[in-house]
Chains A and B, each alone.
Chain A
Amino acid sequence: MTSTTPALEATGISKSFPGVKALENVELRLYPGTVTALIGENGAGKSTLVKILTGVYTPDSGSIALNGTSIVIPDAESAFRQGITATHQETVLFDELTVMENIFLGHPITGRFGLLDWRAMRARAREILAELEVDLDPDMRLRDLAIARKHLVAIARALSIDARIVIMDEPTASLSHKEVEELYSIVGKLKREGKAILFISHKFEEIFRIADEYAVFRDGRSVGSGRVAEATASRLISLMVGRTVDQVFPKVRVPLGETVFAVEDLSHPTEFADISFSLQKGEILGFYGLVGSGRSEIMQALFGVTRPSAGRIALSGKAITIRKPADAVDAGIVYVPEERQRAGAILPLPVFENMTLPSLHRITRRGFLDLAREFDLARKYATRLDLRASSLSQEVGTLSGGNQQKVVIGKWLATEPRVIILDEPTKGIDVGSKAAVHAFMGELVAQGLAVIMVSSELPEILGMSDRVVVMREGRMAGVFERAGLTAETLVAAATGNVAVEAA
């Protein structure tokens, strides 16, 4: 297979942004009828390369060739015309437009007088959707579709041109088990049609299942490529992080204290039902489940962002009512959200203002801010979390993802909470910061805090939790003790395969 001319060959690609070298001299080859997995940590430059191949960014240097012919991709439209198409990480589609319009936007079928030919587009959309074996009405408004179906529209869009190169940027990130299987069969079909597929993923089981070739990026450079059949997971990981990672989690066994936090029969009209659990002092309670199983929704209800329809919440045996986040913070329950940049940190503001925002009452003197005390408070937690910043007045937006997360966690510790909820605390942050966050969780429980940790990463869940609640489709699918817990048990509970396995 490698003897044929690559369908796409990118060599010596470099791209800088003010202050950052995103890509340096990277290369990538894609072959017809082959799935190539692009692997790398967040920030390794994968998305930048995708944006270059799809004409969103122009590279500073380097060349791109299609079937051996050198090409330039000045804009997104030109990428499309040359047969390069991508489904992006976040669904970059239009909620207010119809399925058909989303498929053809940017490359419509035109008829007489150059006017858009809706009838032809509707017919072609039906054809493509039928080819994908997807039952979707082309005239549906996109906002009325579930997330997984939107992904299918994105794929249909990619197929609406006779694409030779199909790029899929983490297509399974927010899909359920069943939907992932559907996607795999679509990938297989594209492969048989001779398309060259670039598949970006963080999930190794996925890579070993569907990819033929791999390419690894680290810190904006190509660090390795080859045949998946000849690779092992540990080899790929060491390429990704540049060293072998011991998967040892700094789990601190803390003697568990009295019950601090209890939730009974918590329900929401549309998102979750009958949630009951309790949390002891010094405990880390893991919440595992597929994306979209209702974990974050529960946490947001506990934090007062959304209103549950029924249920009781008690803190140290006393019933409390939480209507808004301010109530939760006052009660000593804090939440580190998954969407760090949207809901966690206020990026344009300096570190110290972020750190002290929920505890402003601690640093006032007769109602006025006391800057000296404010800096002291911010520095205390910045130091404890080993924050890497040039000064406390640096804008949070200019810090790395891991350091942004430290600011968010520090902000909450400054309120001296009793329960801290961490929603995907290490998602999208570098290995070093990950370890720091894990170590810090150990410190927290040692000091008598109770921690709830929502995570999709099995090693993290298994490594850090004392107990694990598994969620499936808005309901609890089980609670498991740490001792003897295996990944298989959790996955089976989360996907509903328990009965199958028992049989």
Chain B
Amino acid sequence: MRLNRDALFGALVFVLIAVVGVIRPSFVWPQNLVGLFNDTAVLVMLALAQMTVILTKCIDLSVAANIALTGVLVSEANAAFPGVPVPLIMLLAAGIGLLLGAFNGAMVWLVGIPSIVVTLGTLSIYRGLAFVASGGTSIVGHQMSPAFISLPREELLGLPMMSWFAIVVIAIFAVALRGTRTGRAFYAAGGNPTAAVYTGIDVGRTQFVAFCVSGTVAGFCGYLWATRFSIANVDMANGFELDVIASCVIGGVSISGGIGTVAGAVLGAIFFGVVRNALPVVYISPFWQLAVSGGAILAAVIINSGREKRAGRLILKEAAAS
């Protein structure tokens, strides 16, 4: 069933691209499609991380604020110490993000506050700290070192590094969610928390790990975001958490936990990217974008709701079968 859904949704995204391609052939030129994927890379990575959290029956509203705070901090670090190699900066970004995520996770795990309340709070706190850290100003391109800005744009085998990052992250999630104990624990902890305890899974600890994952990816994306627009300030990625959650929802991740696939989340994010890039191409005002996203989210969940409906015991059917 699940594979089917992903395949169907994949086909839908493909059809969408094809339709836009018919109207404007330039849209489906390989160069444009590569650009589209590149534009969506950050959303893809964040959607996967958010899915991990949602799988465990939680939600992380603080990812965009995490991006802002981490983006500002690493940009300032780069401006102050331009000599520090970029890979180290990337590590720093992931590390700061991890700390911010771990704080969320600890509040959920050790204190037992619902995740929506915790991340609602840290969403304000992290963005506020981004303002404090930046002193209310922006760190702009010429303050950053050339290597810092250009690394995600450098091409490897015709694909920018930004896209490669997304591909690597997709691969890591695909392997980790399917192939490791922790990966399966995310599904178990959210799918049936009671049963998870009986199988020796610590639900709270698993949720903590999920928040750490989410924070780490968000921190890394904080660096990418700063380089993409060559600017880091308090307004970075404002409201982006909703796009991330919406990508998951459209991709078939169940908000009540335990259900979701890597393919679904990636396709959900790409769907967003396609809609965003296609609107101007087919001469629809970009002001339609938000309404279209909203409509797509509602349509996706309504179509999904029919699928998730649980059947009864089917006594008559079982009787007929025996």
Contact = CB atoms under 8 A, between A and B. Distances in A.
Q: Would A and B touch once assembled, by the CB under 8 A criterion?
A: yes
Interface of A: 54-56, 75-80, 88, 92-97, 101, 105-106, 108, 110, 114-116, 118, 141, 143, 146-147, 178, 268, 270-273, 292-294, 297, 306, 473-475
A93 B192 contact: yes
B interface: dominant SS: helix
Interface string B171-199: 00001001111001001100110110111
B316 A473 contact: yes
A270 B198 contact: no
Nearest to B189: A94
Contacts of A146: 313-314, 318
Contacts of A88: 198
B180 A115 contact: yes
A190 B258 CA distance: 33
Given A271-B314, A271-B316, A297-B312, A108 B181 contact: yes
B316 A54 contact: no
Contacts of A95: 191-192
Given A54-B198, A56-B197, A94-B195, A293 B179 contact: no
Contacts of A76: 197-200
A94 B188 contact: yes
A101 B179 CA distance: 11
B322 interface: yes
6 contacts: A92-B198, A108-B181, A108-B184, A116-B184, A118-B178, A473-B316
Given A76-B198, A268-B316, A271-B316, 15 more contacts: A76-B197, A76-B200, A92-B195, A93-B192, A94-B191, A94-B192, A96-B187, A97-B191, A110-B181, A115-B175, A116-B184, A146-B318, A270-B312, A270-B315, A475-B319
B192 A92 contact: yes
Nearest to A78: B200
Contacts of A272: 315-316
B198 A56 contact: yes
Contacts of B310: 143
B255 interface: no
Contacts of B318: 146, 292, 473
Nearest to B195: A92
B-side interface size class: 20 to 34
B259 interface: yes
Contact of A270 (B1, B197, B316): B316
A474 B317 CA distance: 9
B181 A116 contact: yes
Contacts of B199: 76, 92, 105-106
Contacts of A56: 197-198
Q: Which of B178, B184, B311, B314 has the largest count of A CB atoms less than 10 A from its CB?
A: B184
Contacts of B175: 115
A48 B236 CA distance: 52
A62 B277 CA distance: 67
B201 interface: yes
A95 B196 CA distance: 12
Contact of A116 (B180, B314, B319): B180
A134 B226 CA distance: 58
B316 A474 contact: yes
Given A96-B258, A270-B316, A473-B319, A101 B197 contact: no
Interface string B278-319: 000000000000000000000000000000001111111111
Nearest to B318: A146
B75 to A, nearest CB: 36
Given A88-B198, A474-B316, A114 B258 contact: no
A271 B312 contact: yes
Contacts of B316: 268, 270-273, 473-474
Contacts of A292: 313, 315, 318
The 3 nearest A-B residue pairs measured at CB:
A473-B319, A77-B200, A76-B200
Contacts of B201: 105-106
A77 B192 CA distance: 17
Contacts of B319: 473-475
A5 to B, nearest CB: 27
Interface in B33-84: none
B321 to A, nearest CB: 9
Contacts of B259: 96
Contact of B200 (A94, A106, A270): A106
Interface string B240-271: 00000000000000000011000000000000
Contacts of B191: 94-97
B1 A141 contact: yes
B313 A55 contact: no
Contacts of A273: 316
Contact of B313 (A97, A101, A271): A271
Contact of A97 (B188, B194, B200, B322): B188
Given A108-B181, A270-B317, A55 B1 contact: no
Nearest to B198: A92
A418 to B, nearest CB: 28
A270 B181 contact: no
Contacts of B181: 108, 110, 116
Contacts of B312: 270-271, 297, 306
A293 B195 CA distance: 27
Contacts of B184: 97, 101, 105, 108, 116
Nearest to B314: A270
Contacts of A80: 200
A101 B178 CA distance: 11
A297 B313 contact: yes
Contacts of B322: 178, 473
A259 B200 CA distance: 56
B3 to A, nearest CB: 11
Contacts of B197: 56, 76
Contacts of A94: 187-188, 191-192, 195, 258
